[in-house]
Amino acid sequence: MRQVHITTFGCQMNEKDSQTIARIMASYDYQVTEKVEQADLILVNTCSIRQKAEEKTYSLLGRLKQLKNSNPGLIIGVGGCVAQQEGKRLLERVPHLDLVFGTRLIHQLPDLIEKVRRERSRLSRTEMDPGEPYLNPLPAVPGFFQGVKASVTIMQGCNNYCAYCVVPLVRGPEESRPSQDILSEVKTLAANGVRETLLLGQNVNSFGQNRMGEISFALLLHRLKKIPGLERIRFTTSHPKDLSAELINCFGRIANLCEHIHLPVQSGSNRILRKMNRYYTRETYLEKIVQLREGCPGLAITSDVIVGFPGETDADFEETMDLIRTVQYDDLFSFKYSNRPKTPASNFPDPVPEEEKSRRLNELQAYQKKVTLSKHQAMEGTVQQVLVEGTSKKTTQDWMGRTRTNKIVNFPGPSDLLGKTVPVRIEKAYVHSLKGSLE
């Protein structure tokens, strides 16, 4: 069997795409290897959300040059968001690269690789409408459905055009997958032992809107709740403007829907939200937070924030801090604004100096760290239902699992706990995890 090594940068969509690639390549007799020096084929699945993410691709490709020199038969391919964004330019910039494939061409990968091999040519293919839907059901390969958790892509692309964001450009327009396909995939997963599913899309709240006669996302959740063996459902990501009352009402009412929502706010200033093309205000966002908590008091809420968007003043940033103090998020992912090619904001005037962006980011992160820790400390002494996912990162003697609110819990226990949900008493809180013992 030939060996393929896959490196993944970026978000959960990319992680999922890499799993799909592994499955497709497995049906063409490629086995995944962790050892890059043993590979006949190296694939890099890339991210371009921020400049730093994009740079990772170039530095990895630089390091791969030596391998190509010592093994001329080696094929190196780049897919994902940098591939889509750069296309042929990537081949020009990286002479030892063989193949560039866009975000919607995953299903054609075996053919493209064969073509490169046969013709000894260098290829770049980035068309957005390849004819065959990217979300087609995949060939069943035994062994690919194993694990406690599995992600299921329910839609691709994005129609929102937030001013800072490269995603609509590199992932194309929004397209929902038929709900029947999603339901049957989740059923198969649950029947094969998967306990938790994460529904993936750039904006799952608008699921179905672009497909005639399709059910809403909330209704999809109601259908999924009936699948035997499926203990937990999560989803990501939600756009606040599309978070409907129907969906808010699902929390606390659908037994296997976990008490956690990731609801990116990006900024607390209405002026900046308008410039970002977000189509909500801090007031309507905060109103939705209130409704979510009224319907489901224990709900964990996390978010994304960008600091230093062009023209962001001290007063705008203070509004963001004020919103964060008001919401008291369980956790936050915060980023310095990064200028992305061809996005609407790329030529907005008044860039915020790098040092100022860092100052704001530090202030925000220091505050959030305190909030996260104090929320974790408030859990000390409580008993949580923990779904065991694997062994702890720090010591393989401990198990690692998550609460329904998505908090990581490490604890010692017998060897047969994988995939089980067990009660754990929380004994010690840290910023990124909790430590406990079996009840």
Q: Which residues bind ligand SF4 (CB under 6 A)?
A: 10-11, 13-14, 47-49, 80-81, 166-167, 170-171
Minimal distance, residue 391 CB to ligand 5AD, in Å: 29
> Could you give the C-alpha distances from 50 to 166, 333, 338, in angstroms and in order?
9, 14, 5
Residue from 107, 145, 96, 51 nearest 340 by CA: 51
One-letter amino acid for residue 162 of the chain = C
| DSSP H/E element including 155 | strand 155-156
Angle at 187 between CA 181 and CA 193, to 5 degrees: 140
Cα angle 358, 239, 325; round to 5: 50
* Residue 338 binds: one of ligand 5AD, ligand SF4, none (C-beta under 5 to 8 A by kind): ligand 5AD
Stretch that binds ligand 5AD, among 81-89, 336-344, 349-357, 368-376 (CB under 6 A): 336-344
Q: Which of 144, 335, 348, 367 binds ligand 5AD (CB under 6 A)?
A: 335
Query: Residue 263 binds which one of ligand 5AD, ligand SF4, none, with CB within 5 to 8 A depending on kind?
Result: none
235 binds, among ligand 5AD, ligand SF4, none (CB under 5 to 8 A by kind): none
147 to 176, contacts with ligand 5AD by CB under 6 A?
Answer: 164-165
Q: Supply the minimum distance, in Å, between the C-beta of residue 17 and ligand SF4.
A: 8
With CB under 6 A as the contact rule, the residue among 14, 85, 151, 338 that binds ligand 5AD is 338
Q: Beta-carbon neighbour count of residue 55 at 10 Å? A: 12
Please list, in sequence order, all residues whose beta carbon lies within 8 angstroms of the beta carbon of residue 318, skipping any fewer than 6 positions away.
Answer: none
Residue type, 81: C
Tally of CB atoms within 10 A around 79: 27
* Residue 50 or 404 with smaller CB distance to ligand 5AD: 50
| Contacted entry of ligand 5AD, ligand SF4, none for residue 50, CB cut-off 5 to 8 Å set by kind | ligand 5AD
Nearest to 307 by CA among 229, 388, 366, 239: 366
Pick the piece of the chain touching ligand 5AD (CB under 6 A) from 98-106, 201-209, 314-322, 331-339: 331-339
The verdict on 289 binding ligand 5AD (CB under 6 A) reads no
Helix, strand, or coil (residue 368): helix
Which residue in 5, 10, 45, 50 binds ligand 5AD (CB under 6 A)? 50
Closest CA to 144 of 32, 67, 244: 32
If contact means CB under 5 to 8 A according to the sort of partner, which of ligand SF4, ligand 5AD, none does residue 292 touch? none
- 245-274 residues near ligand 5AD, rule: CB under 6 A: 264, 266
- Cβ proximity to ligand SF4, 81 vs 258, nearer residue: 81
Residue whose Cβ sits closest to ligand 5AD? 304
Neighbour tally for 120: CB within 10 Å = 10
Half-sphere exposure of 178 (CA within 13 A, CB side): 6
Residue 241, CA distances (Å) to 244, 309, 336, 426 in order: 8, 20, 23, 36
Shortest distance, CB of residue 266 to ligand SF4, whole angstroms? 14
Name the residue among 45, 33, 50, 62 with its Cα closest to residue 9: 45
Which residue, 76 or 170, is less far from ligand SF4 as judged by CB?
A: 170
Contact between 280 and ligand 5AD (CB under 6 A)? Answer: no
Residue closer to ligand 5AD (CB basis): 145 or 335: 335
Q: Is 438 helix (H, G, I), strand (E, B) or coil?
A: strand
Q: Which is nearer to ligand 5AD, 54 or 98 (CB)?
A: 54
Residues that bind ligand 5AD (CB under 6 A): 49-50, 164-165, 264, 266, 304, 306, 335, 337-338, 340
